[in-house]
Amino acid sequence: MATILFYAPFNQRSRDTESLMLAFYRQGHRVISLSQQEGFLINDFLNANGISAYSYVLAGKRGGWWYYLRHLLFFVRFCRKHHVEIVYSHLEPANFIAALAQFLIKATVFVCRHHSDQYRGLKRDNDLSYRLTYRLAKHIIVFSEITRHYMIREERIPRHKITRINLGYDFSLYPAVRIGHVESIKQLYSADIMLITVGSFIPLKRTEISIYVVKVLLDKGFDTKLFLLGKGELEHSLRALVEKLDLMDRVFFPGYVDNVLEYIAASSFLLHPSLSEASCVAVKEAGLVNKPVITCSGVGDFDDYIVHKKNGFSVAPDKFLEQASEIIQENFRNHDFLKGVGENLRKSVIELFSIENVIGHYNSLNNTR
């Protein structure tokens, strides 16, 4: 059995990484978590479940070489002190440190990439820390074929360094959906068509398109409302758009909620117009509660498991507004059909992304290090 460290800027819960940590722990490994942030909620959860969780937080502005150097020195000392044998780093701030540290520690480092081309969209793909991370990393894990192909084709990362593994979830970590709460949400926001979009309010997520879908449906006489669950830099402009279109009583901003499954369960469709994904959590959550989703073809891992009109709806990214609006109009009254689509999505999600079906791939990596 090995000592395995998970390193990330954890601040809130992260059910995919929690699932993997718990799976390793149950196999008898010693599992440790180290966060670059406070680890609100997740540290308490991990400690309560036998996983030692630590945080190393630097005061002041993040970034800059002094900031990274201090994290690097602490990380190296931490790995040596705890005799770490395997590191799984997650998200770019931790990935950069882990990629540098792999030359200073005995542990095998796996850098886990949770996006495909998002840094290009943010115009940060030329950042030195970003470029160094994947040039230096010896072992990279990605969660979709699109990410792997993008790294090979656009970033010129050698293919032998990249391993594709599905995200894995212990779905029992999600709180049970309370039917009474779902019904309360439905009654409070009563509408013939209740839509929901979940994710960060950043340009590549294109949250504004969901707002325009509501406008299109309302203009055609359909009683429609929308939940926008999330936060981000575009929240002010999204709220301004809602006001401009006179949709204040139609579009709602609950923020981040701890009962996201209940909001999805109370909705008719989950809209996901995002142009950049690795492996979207929200669509899997919709599957857990048997809700149909509308996603973009050619984005993330959707093409790997979304089959149009069977377990979801797949539309052209540049025609999301028109095609999503048509799908909703044509199908929202066909409850039996949509129920079947949602149930099929659940089956696909459980089959492809349950931790029991994924953990073997990680075991193979650990055994060949």
User: How many degrees, rounded to 5, is the angle at CA 291 between CA 288 and CA 296?
Assistant: 105
Cα distance between residue 14 and residue 5, in whole Å: 15
pLDDT of residue 59: 84
Residues 299 and 286 both lie in one domain: yes
CA 225 to chain centre: 24
Same-domain pairing of 73 and 145? yes
Number of domains in the chain: 2
**Same domain for 326 and 262:** yes
Residue 205 shares a structural domain with residue 302: yes
104/193 same-domain check: no
pLDDT score at 314: 98
Cβ contacts of residue 90 below 8 Å, gap of 6+?
6, 7, 8, 14, 17, 112, 114
Phi, psi (5° rounding) for residue 296? Answer: -95, 135
Full-model pTM: 0.88
Enclosing domain of residue 117: 3-170+354-367
| Nearest in space to 100 (alpha carbons), one of 130, 132, 125 | 132
Per DSSP, helices labelled H in the chain are 15-26, 42-48, 65-81, 92-101, 118-121, 128-136, 145-153, 179-188, 207-219, 235-244, 260-265, 281-288, 302-305, 320-331, 335-353, 355-367
Burial of 74 (0-12, 13-18, 19+ CB in 10 A): middle
**164, 262: one domain:** no
Contact 285, 173 (CB under 8 A): no
My answer on whether 52 and 94 are in the same domain is yes
Do residues 277 and 144 lie in contact, with contact meaning Cβ atoms separated by under 8 Å?
A: yes
- Same domain for 71 and 111: yes
* pLDDT for the residue 262: 97
Token reading at 149: 């192909």
DSSP 105: S
Nearest partner of 328 among 283, 252, 251, 269, judged by Cα: 269
Residues 111 and 254 occupy one common structural domain: no
- Domain co-membership, 201 together with 304: yes
Does one domain contain both 14 and 154? yes
Q: 75: closest CA among 98, 42, 48, 109?
A: 98
Phi-psi bin for 40: left (phi > 0), alpha (psi -120 to 50), beta?
A: beta
Per-residue confidence (pLDDT) for residue 43, from 0 to 100: 96
Question: Two tokens at 30?
Answer: 């010693």
User: Taking the chain (369 residues) in consecutive chunks of 10 residues, what is each chunk's mean pLDDT?
Assistant: 96 91 98 95 95 93 86 98 98 95 97 79 68 96 93 94 96 94 96 96 95 98 97 96 98 92 98 92 96 95 95 98 98 97 97 96 87
Question: What single letter denotes the amino acid at residue 290?
Answer: N
pLDDT for residue 120: 61
| 349 plus 360 within the same structural domain | no
H/E run at residue 293: strand 293-296
The enclosing domain of 17 has a CATH number of: 3.40.50.2000
